[in-house]
Amino acid sequence: MAAASAVLQSEWTKIRTVSSTVWTLASALLVTVAMSAALCALFKSTFDDLSEVEQATFDPTFASFSGMILGQLAMVVFGVLVVGTEYSSGMIRTSLAAVPQRATFLFSKIAVAGVLALVVGLATSFLSFFLGQALLGEHRTTLGADNVLRAVVGGGLYMGLIAIFSMGVATMLRSSMLSLGILVPFFFLISQILSAVPKAKEVAKYFPDQAGSKIMQVVPDAMGQEKAPYGPWGGLGIMLIWVAASLLGGYLVLKKRDA
Amino acid sequence: MIEAVGLTKRYGAKTAVYNLSFQVRPGVVTGFLGPNGSGKSTTMRMILGLDRPTAGHVTIGGHPFRQLPNAPRQVGALLDAKAVHGGRSARSHLLSLAQLAGIPAQRVDEVLGVVGLQDVAKRRSKGFSLGMGQRLGIAAALLGDPQVLLFDEPVNGLDPEGILWVRNLMKKLASEGRTVFVSSHLMSEMALTADHLIVIGRGQLLADMSVTDFISANSADFARVRTPQTEPAQREKLTAVLTEAGGQVLSEPDGALRVTGLPLPRISDLAHDADVRLWELSPHQASLEEAYMRLTQGAVDYRSTDDRLAHLQPAPHPGQPGYGMPPQQVVQDVPQQGWYAPPPPGQNPYAGAPQAPAPGPYAPPPAAPPAAAVPPSTTPQPSDTTKDAR
């Protein structure tokens, strides 16, 4: 029985010795921070043009996370590649020949990659927050304000969970291309579009990204958005259910199907 | 020791492996042969627990692979030389595998030295040639100093030095009492490396025996006879005499005759009596390749055919050499299939007295080639037909 600690060590070696890890995680951080900063600067300069409702419910914390809509895609790519390259290179057979215990293999891999994604996610959200607040000028908030710390930590959790969700999906689909082809349009287009369509948005509220992103809001229905039927932690809970489902699906596929 | 019992694998309607039972014993190199698509790789994957058998089971040292304690220390495998993340260096790849089994990092450098990759250890494996990939795969298999080793086509893409090295490595590993299971398409290589053979075709066991038994059970020898090329008449004369004496004569592409059914001294005597000089009279020993071809010819899924270039050439016109020439002794060509199918076992031409000229092993098959159907157009020089066509 390959010890879990040995598999964790091996997966850490695997993840740190490919350049795609650095590239995807660095772009997740840089894209989020840069785009959030740019939008915060834009909010500050055009604040007077916003409608009264929007001004009244302006959420400076959430505004400093507005780059995540793009940055999360890099997290998706990271999550997909961590698992998908095992399949595209054929390395999965070498790995499973060395670790015949499927659960140990999969969950060690996801633990290592997931912790790394969470750490980078947290760094991203704190950097985004501080840079965004600095640029917002008089509209800024502070970490000490009500619920702000929860939102900033939640932003990091959100980024990490998106990556872990992608790892589960890639394990189910066993292909990087297929997984990216489904996940990227889903998070970038389908989820965003459906959340604006009248009837569909009742369903879209329960999508992992829509539900999970509520944790980042300090003002519940900020900027004239509709009120969700769940709170910030409830939203994160819904996202966690999605993540658990994708991991379970991935595990079952890995266990049942031939490698 | 690897033991398969009733191993069966179906993919939908296609049966890749059917009711395969065999044992791979320690201390010898066991060759695993079979045509493309015969189920060799599927069997290897089932041994490693990567594919689940539809029926039957396979164990290593008495345990199913998935239940082996610390598998990398007991079983080493090379399945696919290219199964490496291209962006990772050779050393990092091996290090990640070593850590799984608690193997110290020094062992990684050690096996890199063994396979001769120490100079490129830090380079990304993306730029590796197939031969370097094979060496890396062999290094991964050796990493845990395992008692059971599986190699799927280990010499693919290796240079002659590498092939020799793999051959000696396999023998050395086996002589240390390990179980070594090697698949290969290179028969000459297998004949030199393996002691025991397991042959499958269409997923079923065809043979499980030692190499020497396999060759003697599945092949027969023939004599090659060459007459002076300057005197075609002598060739015709000898052919007639040999056929009359009960031998079967086939023409080889370079003009030599392939004779079965007559022992060498008798051929010499007949030639002497007929006043025909011989430039060559040589015994031809069957090789493992011939024995293998004979055994598996019914089980080949993907068979190549001649490229006739029918649509790329002008239509043939009459007046070819051969028309208008007197009818000649027809000599059947050696079947041009790129390989020689020896007669079935038990018809050794050198066994005892000449056999009656019953349908010999080289009698034209029922569906004879067109050349045999139209005797006048057939020339004794088989190479002529190809020359004419150009």
Which whole-number Å values give the CA distances from B379 to A74, B247, B259, B372, in the listed order?
Answer: 72, 21, 19, 10
Which candidate from B66, B77, B82 shows the least CB-CB separation from A90? Answer: B82
State pTM to two decimals.
0.77
Inter-chain residue contact A93 with B83, CB threshold 8 Å: yes
Say whether residue A98 is in contact with chain B using an 8 A CB cutoff.
yes
Cβ of residue A259 closer than 8 Å to a chain B Cβ: yes
How far apart (Å, rounded) are the C-alpha atoms in residues A123 and A118?
9
Residue corresponding to tokens 């740190």:
A16
Q: Listing from the earlier edge strand, what are the strands of the sheet with B179-183? A: B75-78, B148-152, B179-183, B29-33, B196-201, B204-210
Rounded Cα distance, A38 and A36, in Å: 5
B218 pLDDT tier (thresholds 50, 70, 90): confident
Most confidently modeled of A227-231, B1-5, B308-312? B1-5
Q: How far is B76 from chain A (nearest CA, A)?
A: 8
Which of B36-40, B141-145, B212-216, B254-258 is predicted least confidently? B212-216
Which parts of chain B are beta strand (E)?
A: 2-11, 14-24, 29-33, 55-60, 75-78, 148-152, 179-183, 196-201, 204-210, 222-226, 248-251, 257-260, 280-284, 321-324
Class in CATH terms, B2-217 = alpha beta
Q: What is the DSSP letter of B28?
A: S
Chain A positions in Cβ-Cβ contact with residue B80 (cut-off 8 Å): 90, 93
What end-to-end distance do the CA atoms of chain B give, in Å?
56
Q: Residues in chain A with pLDDT < 70?
A: 1-2, 221-226
Enumerate the domain spans of chain A.
21-256
Question: Per-residue pLDDT for B284 more than 90?
Answer: no
Choose the closest CB to B92 out of A13, A96, A258.
A13
Length of chain B: 390
Residue B136 has pLDDT above 70, yes or no: yes
ipTM of this complex prediction, to 2 decimal places = 0.86
Q: Which residue in B51, B83, B93 is closest to A90 by CB distance?
A: B83
How does DSSP classify residue B125? G
Whole-number pLDDT of residue B232: 84
Of B77, B89, B100, the CB nearest to A10: B100
Per-residue tokens: B159: 């240079």
Judged on CB neighbours under 10 Å (0-12, 13-18, 19+), B132 is buried
Q: How many Å is the maximal CA-CA distance in chain B?
A: 82
Task: Tell me if B229 sits within 8 A of B250, measured CB to CB.
Answer: no
A20 interaction partners in chain B (CB closer than 8 Å): 87
| Interface with chain B: mutation pick from A13, A20, A256, A257, highest number of B CBs within 10 Å | A13
Q: Residue B34 gets which letter from DSSP?
A: -
> What band does B370 get if pLDDT is binned at 50, 70 and 90?
very low
Closest to A169 measured CA to CA, from A184, A159, A155: A184
Of B183, B247, B179, B190, which Cα lies nearest the Cα of B23?
Answer: B179
Which of these ranges, A172-176, B234-238, B364-368, has the smallest mean pLDDT? B364-368
Query: What is the distance between the alpha carbons of residues B100 and A8, in angstroms, rounded to a whole number?
Result: 8
Q: Is the pLDDT of residue B145 over 90?
A: yes
Is residue B36 very low, low, confident or very high in pLDDT (cuts 50, 70, 90)? confident
Those residues with Cβ within 8 angstroms of residue A203's Cβ, 6 or more apart along the chain or in another chain? A194
pLDDT at B134 over 60: yes
Q: Which of B49, B95, B101 sits opposite A13 (nearest CB)?
A: B95
Res B376 pLDDT > 60: no
Half-sphere exposure of A219 (CA within 13 A, CB side): 18
**Given an 8 Å threshold on Cβ–Cβ distance, is B71 in contact with A20?**
no
Q: How much of chain B, in percent, has pLDDT values that exceed 90?
A: 37
Interchain pair A91, B83: CB under 8 A? yes
Which residue of chain B comes nearest to A4, CA vs CA?
B100
Query: What is the tens place of the pLDDT at every residue in A57-113?
Result: 888 898 999 999 899 999 999 999 999 999 998 899 999 988 888 999 999 999 999
Q: Tell me, what's the pLDDT at B137?
A: 93
Searching chain B, which residue's CA lies closest to the CA of residue A102?
B66
What are the φ/ψ torsions at residue B82 (nearest 5 degrees)?
Answer: -90, 5
**B378, pLDDT greater than 50:** no
Q: Does A19 touch chain B (CB under 8 A)?
A: yes
Confidence grade of residue B333 (pLDDT, cut at 50, 70, 90): low
Q: In CATH, what class is B220-285+327-355?
A: alpha beta
pLDDT tier at B353 (50, 70, 90 boundaries)? very low
| pLDDT-derived band at B90, boundaries 50, 70, 90 | very high
Provide the pLDDT for residue B295: 79
Number of CB pairs < 8 Å for A and B? 97
Residue A153 in contact with partner chain B when CB distance is under 8 A = no
pLDDT for the residue numbered B363:
43
Q: How far is B100 from chain A (nearest CA, A)?
A: 5
Is the pLDDT at B171 greater than 50? The verdict is yes
Contact (CB, 8 A) for A80 and A129: no
Is A99 in the B-facing interface, judged by CB distances under 8 Å? yes
CB-based contact, A9 to chain B, within 8 Å: yes
Cβ separation A100–B101 shorter than 8 A: no
Shortest Cα distance, chain A CAs vs residue B143, angstroms? 11
> Over chain B, what is the mean pLDDT?
80
Q: CA–CA separation, B253 vs B222, rounded Å? A: 16
- Option in B51, B80, B97 nearest A90 (CB): B80
Is there a contact between A17 and B89 if contact means CB atoms under 8 Å apart? yes
Contact indicator for A148, A230 with CB cutoff of 8 Å: no
Nearest by CB to A1, from B49, B69, B86: name it. B69
